[in-house]
Amino acid sequence: MTQSRKFVLVAIVLAVAIVGCSSHDEPMSIQNPPRESDSVVLAGGASAVTSSIVIDGYDVQFDGRQFSGGNTTFSYTVSGMGSEHTLSHFALELPDCAPAVHSFSPAGGTVGVDPHTGLYSIKWDLELGANESRSYSVTFAGDVPLGIIRASVKASTEVGLAEIAGPCGGFEISGTIYIDADSNGVLNGADEPGIENVTVTLEDGNGGIETYTTDASGTYSFLRLSGTFTLRIDAATSADDFNEELAESFSPSGPTTVIVTVGPDSPGNNFGYDPKADKIIVDLDTGVLLTDGEPVKFWKREIRSAINGGKGQSEFDPTTMALFLEEIQMLFLPEPFQFTPGNELQEALDVLSDNSKDPVIQLKRELLAAEFNEVSGKGLIEADELQRALISWAESLVAQLSTGPSASIKYGDGPVRVLSSFDVDDASLLLNKLNGATGGGSGGEG
């Protein structure tokens, strides 16, 4: 799924000592309204930073990072937007993490403490007209990663300062939006999968806002300079994301707003959610949620046909069924479905044919049918993301049963099985209905 990463940045007003300024220079400020800006994905795809921002009527655009010949070059274009003032000063911060400057362009730049901002920078005192553009670059020896720095423009009596992509600076604010299957408010490592396409909002103390949409593993990351920020998961956003369905069909297992301070880095800002199983079951029963999922008996028939070389009544040929099983083994967690090479179809049939009343075996049976529905394009109608989240939840339940959660529940006359506070029966019932027991599909199990 294509990630949507849109950022709105309001540059931070900084009051610093003015060293060596002429008498008509004023403290730095930003007078530009918030604007939507592009973003740049950092190495590894984990973080993103602003690549375009308006400062004092001039658009500052980060054009990219290039590593070549053992050197790293960061390039920018500054363009006038018709301001009444002429740019007289442009500077890029040189953070402590960056090595010494190898070279820069255009000629005439100086390296040192910028008297206008008090920041160690490369500064060009070159005029740029209100409707003109100019390219700038700074090169360092070695492989310098992408980060966040401050750029400054002086186009009047004030100096504007804003954050933009640049060499290696900044602190990371990160975490995971995840399925909290045991509802304990703690991310249990690999046993609790992340939730994709959730918009996380980061707000600074001046009303500046950035958003990040979680990736397939449910992770998000912001890169910011030092300060205190508010992280939150909004129940409704203007983006095409999972937030509204998350708020409608899941309960948070902890706060949905936290305050973080950097530096240093601030990792582990996780937000857990547990499905409202009872509500989703009612939604399936009443047609609020519709499904064309097929039940266990349908997939048993398809597997038997595939084992017999495609003979008998079937919708999918043996090759397709084998491909479905490959996808199922890679869906979310290593457990519960890893089949022996060459015996995948028979082992899947064994899972679906086990009519034990053991609640965990029942859950695995319905889960495997739900995963067949997922990989074949069946199941919840116009609710693909919800279906994936519910399947990942059920996988997490099964995984946690095998690693020993905290509570013990005895079912009937059977042995004591170690379970968490989640209701395995509700999970099985929910998947049974998703698999066509109501609202569509072939209905029933058998």
In this structure, the strands spanning 171-179 and 271-275 are parallel
pLDDT at 438: 53
**Residue 26: pLDDT band with limits 50, 70, 90:** very low
Position 48 scores a pLDDT of: 56
* pLDDT, the chain, mean: 84
Confidence bin at 444 (pLDDT 50/70/90)? very low
Q: Looking at the predicted structure, is the pLDDT value of residue 130 above 80?
A: yes
Residues 366 and 435: beta-carbon distance below 8 Å: yes
Q: Is the pLDDT of residue 5 over 70?
A: no
Q: How many CB atoms lie within 10 A of CB 295?
A: 23
In angstroms, the CA 62 to CA 76 distance is: 5
Question: How does pLDDT run across 190-243, given as a tens digit for each residue?
Answer: 789 999 999 999 998 888 888 999 999 999 999 998 899 999 999 999 989 999
Q: Which residues contact 179 (CB under 8 A, 6 or more apart)?
A: 192, 193, 194, 195, 272, 273, 274, 275, 389, 392, 393, 396
Residue 177 CA to residue 196 CA, distance in Å, equals 8
Q: Which residue has the higher pLDDT, 31 or 399?
A: 399
pTM (two decimals): 0.78
pLDDT value, residue 410:
36
Domains 7-166 and 171-275 share a fold: yes
Beta bridge partners of 151: 92, 162
Partners of 407 in beta bridges? 419
Residues constituting the chain? 446
Residues 6+ apart with CB under 8 A from 134: 77, 78, 106, 126, 128
Pairing state between β 110-113 and 120-124: antiparallel
Pick the range with the lowest mean pLDDT from 3-17, 38-52, 125-139, 340-354.
3-17
pLDDT in tens, 330-365: 999 887 899 999 999 999 999 999 999 888 899 999
Instruction: Write down the pLDDT at residue 51.
Output: 86
What percentage of the chain carries pLDDT values higher than 70?
A: 82
Condensed to tens digits (0 to 9), the pLDDT of residues 356-413 reads 988 889 999 999 999 999 999 999 999 999 999 999 999 998 887 765 444 344 333 4
The percentage of the chain sitting over the pLDDT mark of 90, rounded to a whole number, equals 69
Query: CA-to-CA distance for 151 and 58, rounded, in angstroms?
Result: 12
Amino acid at 184: N
Query: What is the reported pLDDT for 181?
Result: 87
**What confidence score (pLDDT) does residue 84 get?**
84
Q: How confident is the model at residue 38 (pLDDT cuts 50, 70, 90)?
A: very low
- For residue range 283-323, list pLDDT tens digits in order: 999 999 999 999 999 999 999 999 999 887 889 999 999 99
User: For the domain 171-275, what is the CATH code?
Assistant: 2.60.40.10
Q: Classify residue 211 as left (phi > 0), alpha (psi -120 to 50) or beta.
A: beta
Domain ranges for the chain, please list them: 7-166, 171-275, 278-437
Give the model's pLDDT for residue 209. Answer: 87
Sequence-distant (6+) residues with CB within 8 A of 404 are: 418
CATH class of 7-166: mainly beta
The answer to whether residue 29 scores a pLDDT higher than 70 is: no
Angle between helix 318-328 and 296-307 (nearest 10):
120
Work out the burial of residue 104: count CB atoms within 10 Å of its CB; fewer than 13 is exposed, 13-18 middle, 19 or more buried: buried
Nearest Cα residue to 76 out of 62, 94, 55, 58: 62
More reliable by pLDDT, 47 or 77: 77
pLDDT surpassing 70 at residue 95: yes
Higher per-residue confidence, 335 vs 26: 335
